[in-house]
Amino acid sequence: ATTITWWHAMEGALGEKVNAIADEFNASQDEYVVKPVYKGSYSDNLTATIAAFRAGQAPAITQVFEVGTATMMSAKGAIYPVYQLMQDTGTPFDPDAFLPAVKSYYTSSDGHMLSMPFNSSTPVLYYNQDAFAKAGIETPPRTWAELGRDAHKLVESGAAECGLTTAWPSWTQLENFSAINDLPFATQANGFNGSDARLVFDQQPATVAHIQDLAEWQKSHAFEYGGRADSGTKRFQSGRCAMLTTSSASRAGIQEAAKGKFGFAIAPLPYDAEAVSQPRNSIIGGASLWVMQGQSDTVYQGVAEFLNFLSSPAVQADWASFTGYVPITTAAYEQLKAEGFYTKTPGASVAIDQLTRGTPDDNGRGLRLGNMPQIRNIIAEQLEKAFNGSETAAQALTTAAKRGNAELEQFERSVSN
Ligand SMILES: O=P(O)(O)OC[C@H](O)CO
């Protein structure tokens, strides 16, 4: 049988599920064997993939987080566009089968889908029901003002040591804060309308005020900064912080950690009632699968079959219901609804409802910004300065945008050369 290597960044419960899906595909036929390889975090896997490509040893399939999309799209000689692969191998492929928010994220400006959606998420609010009951709070906060009040109440009443923490700070507190409150993160529809986009989150008073609020809340532990990527999740899992903003796909891990310790529930991300009257759609996170150049025709035939299998309603419905990722195709979503999944599983519909509410405008289509993984690191560094009080939110965000814009300019130059 022909081996197909799949590099990914799914850890813990998610990684085990990835292995189970590959096993199922492998058992369904005997021509190909898909070998999933866990390569660490999303950033680790992106770095490893680029290095392996340069050394002529790229895997057939690699998983890249949503903010790496512009970088991968521009790596023309390194990737085998998925629409092209499906055409060349005669594999059925219908881009319209995917949810519009998912399809558009991975479709180039000339209308071609370049990677295969696999795991799309959106950030939600997790809250500790035991701590809420202890503090006498009956319903989860809907706005950031309400969340601030609840966070203080949780700490002051002794119901929790910390009110709120967050994972993926840029994604939840800047990127999605902007989309939900209809504020630009960058110009040119966050990069979807042109590659000369520039960061402008620092020029939005509501965004700056939000980061300043979090910094103030730090003083009383109403908010605790928990670190970069998904490291903040631990402070919620241990029961220390009563609220957490993170990916809908953290559900499986949180369920495991909270078992026998505390009850938790899921609510939409709060919005800023002074910025918008109605919250707008949030934007996707998670990752998609990129096919790399340099493999044999036989491998590509197997890759196409495997990608087709991965996006089938049965696999997608199972993956989404287990993980908390949203079903990426309409068929999988319909299947889950018909099975009664959303009525049986409280909180499971929050992510998909939040992602698909209303019609996305220029601030709500997602981000298409080159060097965005590097920009996220810069933003994290600057947020840390705001949160430790060494800079005001305004100073920290101005520098973040300035340094981020230098990354965008550098990316533009490298692509046009
Ligand atoms: O935890 P995930 O897979 O939903 O990803 C979160 C962020 O979108 C990664 O950029």
The reply to whether ligand 1 has any atom less than 6 angstroms from the CB of 369 is: no
Question: What strands lie across the sheet with 285-291, from one edge to the other?
Answer: 32-38, 2-8, 61-65, 285-291, 116-121
How high is the pLDDT of residue 364?
97
Q: Which residues of the chain have pLDDT under 70?
A: 417
Residue with tokens 């699968």: 289
- 311 Cβ closer than 6 Å to some ligand 1 atom: no
- Whether the complex's predicted ipTM is more than 0.90 is answered with yes
* Alpha carbon of 250 to ligand 1 centroid (Å): 9
Confidence (pLDDT) at 416: 83
Q: Is the CB of 121 under 6 A from ligand 1?
A: yes
Alpha carbon nearest to ligand 1 atom 8, residue: 285
Which token pair is 377? 């690191």
Residue 208 and residue 394: Cα distance in Å, rounded? Answer: 6
Backbone φ, ψ for residue 165 (5° rounding)? -135, 170
Q: pTM to 2 decimals?
A: 0.97
Q: Which residue has the tokens 């896997």?
A: 45
* CA 404 to ligand 1 centroid distance, Å: 20
β strands within 30-144, DSSP E: 32-38, 61-65, 116-121, 123-128
Instruction: Give distance in angstroms: CA of 30 to centre of ligand 1.
Output: 33
The confidence score (pLDDT) of residue 173 equals 98
Task: Look at residue 16 in the predicted model and tell me its pLDDT.
Answer: 96
Residue 321: closest CA among 338, 336, 337:
336
d(CA 391, CA 115): 39
Residue from 45, 64, 65 to probe ligand 1 pocket by mutation (most atoms less than 8 Å from CB): 65
Q: How much distance in Å is there from the Cα of 285 to the middle of ligand 1?
A: 5
Pairing of strands 241-247, 162-166: parallel
134: exposed, middle or buried (Cβ count in 10 Å: 0-12, 13-18, 19+)? middle
